[in-house]
Amino acid sequence: MADHYEVLGVSREATTDEIKKAYRRLARQLHPDVNPGEEASERFKLVTHAYDVLSDPEQRARYDMGGDGGFGGAGGFGGFGDIFETFFGAAGGNRGGRPRSRRERGQDALVRVTLDLGDVVFGVHRDIEVDTAVVCDTCEGSCCQPGTQPVRCDICQGSGHVQRQVRSLLGNVVTTQPCNVCQGYGTTIPYPCATCQGQGRVRSRRTVSLDIPAGVETGLRLQLPGSGEVGPAGGPNGDLYLEVTVAPHEVFSREGDDLLATLEVSMPDAILGTTTTIESLDGPVELELRPGVQAGDILTIKGRGITPLRGSQRGDLRVGVHVVTPTRLDAKERALIEEFAGRTKAPAPRLAEFHQGLFAKLRDRFRNG
């Protein structure tokens, strides 16, 4: 096995500084990123291992006394990248190169809002209370008591990570781990801000004003970029999502962009026809029932439905006719109906195809709520 001093090209009396300089020079020549190839790679491992041993006073003493830890062929792997980074910064590789930033993007926030069907028809303006993290006013997100600053971590010298020599079957292996003392930030905060306990953000309730467009549906999420939680240490905000629930309406239900309802019509009105005024979601609408309108007929009122989310052409209001049969008749009414029946020679009940029309669907909708 090559002598570590020879590998680095330094004398046995070399100072730690000289050893460091020699390693730095050789590593620049031989690092696999700079000098790909089998031979350079093998030499780089040797150089790195030699440096590992000689830069650590304890190991160097042991080596000088003839007891090297043994450098199995693959020894030093996983290590040279880290040492290289220590000298040349993160440019040498991306593993553990830079300390972590305290600033991180905040989380997205979700707020639920319940709308009436009328809000959906036209769109609505809402002021919504949102409870999220916001930047701490006291420290303005710095996490430090005003007038103080983070200080460089002594344990990792500000790099955010520490190297640990692990003795394994393969020899000494250098691993890089986040520094426990500063959690990898490279700095510690000696005087955390008292308002936010050093988080740089506090929870706060605020009001977000927004226009909810027409045509939204239950389950739809509207995204408000940058209105979510502020990140730790004043990091950028996440997004705010507004999840819509549309409350069921006691009269109208929705099918696509159309509104559906049932119109209850008395038997005489169905027979004779009439004009009536109904309350649609946007005000009264005059509706004409032709004489002889049938139960199950659908009357369409154009353009009184919902404005679609994308588009401007409103849907229709469709009204299913339900003829209400009188259940309590006094003697005179009964006599009149009997007379009417006798005159019209109405056919006896007869079987026809089952009516799976919209009106049946409408009724089901009402039964199931």
**Are 144 and 192 spatial neighbours (Cβ–Cβ below 8 Å)?**
yes
Q: Which of residues 155-174 bind Zn ion (CB under 5 A)?
A: 155-156
C-alpha of 304 from chain center: 36
Which three-class secondary structure state does DSSP give residue 215? Answer: coil
Does 233 contact Zn ion by CB under 5 A?
no
The DSSP secondary-structure symbol of 228 reads S
Q: What residue ranges in the chain does DSSP mark as E strands?
A: 109-115, 124-135, 151-152, 161-168, 171-178, 187-188, 201-212, 221-224, 240-246, 253-255, 258-266, 274-280, 283-289, 298-301, 317-324
Q: Which of 130, 87, 127 is nearest to 109 (CA)?
A: 130
Nearest Cα to 20, choosing from 71, 75, 88? 88
Verify binding: residue 193, Zn ion, rule CB under 5 A.
Answer: yes
| 115 near Zn ion, rule: CB under 5 A | no
| Cβ pair 366, 262 in contact under 8 A | yes
Report the nearest approach of Zn ion to the CB of residue 134 (Å). 11
Binding of residue 145 to Zn ion (CB under 5 A): no
Minimum Å distance from CB 147 to Zn ion? 13
The smaller minimum CB distance to Zn ion, of residues 160 and 228, is found at: 160
Does the protein bind Zn ion through residue 289 (CB under 5 A)? no
Q: Binding residue for Zn ion (CB under 5 A) from 120, 196, 261, 281?
A: 196
**130 bridge partner residues:** 206
Number of residues that bind Zn ion (CB under 5 A): 12
Rule CB under 5 A: say whether 274 interacts with Zn ion: no
Which range, of 107-115, 154-162, 168-176, 239-247, touches Zn ion by CB under 5 A? Answer: 154-162
134 lies in the binding site for Zn ion (CB under 5 A): no
Shortest distance, CB of residue 178 to Zn ion, whole angstroms? Answer: 8
110 near Zn ion, rule: CB under 5 A? no
DSSP-based three-state secondary structure for 272: helix
Dist. CA 348–CA 337, nearest whole Å: 16
Q: Does 144 bind Zn ion (CB under 5 A)?
A: no
Choose the binding region for Zn ion from 86-94, 175-183, 317-325, 351-359 (rule: CB under 5 A).
Answer: 175-183
Beta bridge partners, 246, equal 115
Torsion over CA: 126, 131, 133, 136 (sign):
positive
Q: How far is the CB of 85 from Zn ion (least distance, A)?
A: 15
Q: Which is nearer to Zn ion, 118 or 146 (CB)?
A: 146
Nearer to Zn ion, 102 or 254 (CB): 102
Q: Which helix (H) or strand (E) holds 15?
A: none
Sign of CA dihedral 337, 343, 348, 352: negative
Interface region with Zn ion, contact rule CB under 5 A, candidates 129-137, 261-269, 320-328, 330-338: 129-137
The answer to whether residue 26 forms part of the interface with Zn ion (CB under 5 A) is no
218 binds Zn ion (CB under 5 A): no
Q: Which of residues 299-338 bind Zn ion (CB under 5 A)?
A: none
Which residue among 181, 335, 341, 360 contacts Zn ion (CB under 5 A)? 181
The site for Zn ion (CB under 5 A) is made up of 136, 138-139, 153, 155-156, 179, 181-182, 193, 195-196
